[in-house]
Amino acid sequence: MSVVTDKNPNPRWPSVFEVAPYCDPVETGKQARRIKRPWLALLFIGLASMVAQGFGRFTFPVLLTAIDRELLGSYTLAGFLSNVPLVAYLLGTGVTSYLSTRTDPSDLIKIGVTLSAIGLGSMAVSPNSGTLALALFIAGFGAALVWVPAPGIAASMVGPAQGGLAIGLVGSGIGTGVMLAGPLTSAVRTATGNEFAWRPVYGVQAAVGVFVLLGLLVVLSRSGETTETEKVPISVLTTVPNWRLITLSFVIFGITYSLFFYFLPAQLVASGWSGDTARLMFALLGLASIFGGVVFGRISDHFSRRTTMGLGFVLMATAPLLTLVNNGAVVTIGVFAFGLCIAGVPTTIGAMLADALDGRSFVTAFGTITFAFGLAQLLGPPFAGWVGERTGSFQIPFIVASAAALFGALVSIRMKNSRGASNSPSNFG
């Protein structure tokens, strides 16, 4: 662990996206030479993130109403099923961390995409809720194998000077997957003439997963070396200023996010919106999330991290209430604002850690609070599903999400001011 003091080597990109490569600067050049067409490899890693996260984990909310109609018959059960990929993701994160010193990171991504494609294909043919849960678990586990090593591989391919650009590219794949889920569903239902079709959607996504896997096998080569590194204790998190409040903020974010995100399309339909329009709103949420990290990263670099995070929580507190208003323009503003925060708030939280830690110390600390964030997400879907089943809408969960985010804004006020890049440049390496 060390305190970061060096200048941002590429001020064009937000310093919050600068990370230390998996290999040292000498090895970076060697690894880059081993990878065929580095920017094409980056594109396929971004597509892998799209398949694993955007498709494997985040398409379920779009298809929830149709799946509930055919297989479930209970929003409570739907809420528990929403947790399956998250539990798998948490387990997968631990397994990936264990395997990272024994397996080449590029192999982990390929295995992850394979599992994601298998999970998506299994969803398309699931005869009952039990097999659907198993398929969701496989896809969620694969998502961890893809996303945990992806940022480090991306940064190591291009070096620290363009690390932010590389990580932004692969990370935007997640938002792209969320954005495409709605239009893809509408196109499939138009083509099949079935307004409740959902299996073909997963089938198409599985086929995309196979294509991405084949591309990765061609353009992403192994580094050729796997080295043991000294373990960093979990207690490194306690060296970060405001670490308790930072962890609490991420927990609050997890609760707010899980109460709103998974049930947005269902709530819009319950409010009288057409299924196509509800899916379009979900696509807008994904589109906004593509840009949220960059927007919040730049704001936090020029102002304090605390102020930026507080702004994010205020937006998150306002957005769910706006989506309950009977006005299309107001709902659109609320959806877009929440989409920005999905990527923006975690980016700012990560930047707070990056102001104090670098390299593996950052990874360990961020992993610790991410686990707390994941556990917090487990609370939202069952509660929202239970309420939705009994009331026919998700207004109460959305109001609870708004209240939780407001509490997050109050937590940010209690923090001591954190440095931004403007007065004390920081990066992850």
Q: What is the pLDDT of residues 374-408, one digit of tens each?
A: 788 888 888 888 888 888 889 999 999 999 999 99
Could you tell me if residue 426 is inside a domain?
no
Are residue 183 and residue 234 in the same domain, yes or no? no
Could you tell me if residue 1 is inside a domain?
no
Are residue 125 and residue 152 in the same domain, yes or no? yes
Residue 24 neighbours by CB under 8 Å, 6+ apart: none
Name the domain count of the chain. Answer: 2
> Over the range 51-89, which residues count as b (16 or more CB within 10 Å of their CB) and which as e?
bbbbbbbbbbbbbbbbbbeebbebbbbbbbbbbbbbbbb
Are residue 282 and residue 296 in the same domain, yes or no? yes
Predicted local distance difference test score (pLDDT) of residue 1? 42
Spell out, as residue ranges, where the chain has pLDDT lower than 50. Answer: 1-34, 160-161, 163-164, 225-226, 359, 420-429
Predicted local distance difference test score (pLDDT) of residue 152? 66
> Over the range 285-303, which residues count as b (16 or more CB within 10 Å of their CB) and which as e?
bbbbbbbbbbbbbbbbbee
Are residue 223 and residue 253 in the same domain, yes or no? no
Are residue 305 and residue 382 in the same domain, yes or no? yes
Are residue 153 and residue 248 in the same domain, yes or no? no
Could you tell me if residue 427 is inside a domain?
no
Could you tell me if residue 241 is inside a domain?
yes
Q: What is this structure's pTM?
A: 0.69
Predicted local distance difference test score (pLDDT) of residue 27? 46
Are residue 211 and residue 241 in the same domain, yes or no? no
For 375, counting Cβ atoms within 10 Å of its Cβ (0-12 exposed, 13-18 middle, 19+ buried), the class is middle
Are residue 416 and residue 369 in the same domain, yes or no? yes
Residue 336 neighbours by CB under 8 Å, 6+ apart: 284, 285, 287, 288
Could you tell me if residue 277 is inside a domain?
yes
Could you tell me if residue 428 is inside a domain?
no
Residue where a domain stops, chosen among 227, 248, 265: 227
Predicted local distance difference test score (pLDDT) of residue 380? 84
**Domain span including residue 403:** 230-420
Could you tell me if residue 3 is inside a domain?
no
Are residue 252 and residue 316 in the same domain, yes or no? yes
Could you tell me if residue 276 is inside a domain?
yes
Predicted local distance difference test score (pLDDT) of residue 276? 79
Report the residue count for the chain.
429
Residue where a domain stops, chosen among 227, 248, 278: 227
> 178: domain CATH number?
1.20.1250.20
Predicted local distance difference test score (pLDDT) of residue 230? 58
Distance CA 40, CA 46 (A): 10
Distance CA 402, CA 256 (A): 7
For 210, counting Cβ atoms within 10 Å of its Cβ (0-12 exposed, 13-18 middle, 19+ buried), the class is middle
Are residue 188 and residue 240 in the same domain, yes or no? no
Structure tokens at 87: 């539990």
CB 61 within 8 A of CB 265: yes
* β partners of residue 19: 428
Are residue 156 and residue 241 in the same domain, yes or no? no
Residue where a domain stops, chosen among 191, 211, 227: 227
Q: How many CB atoms neighbour CB 213 within 10 A?
A: 22
Are residue 240 and residue 116 in the same domain, yes or no? no
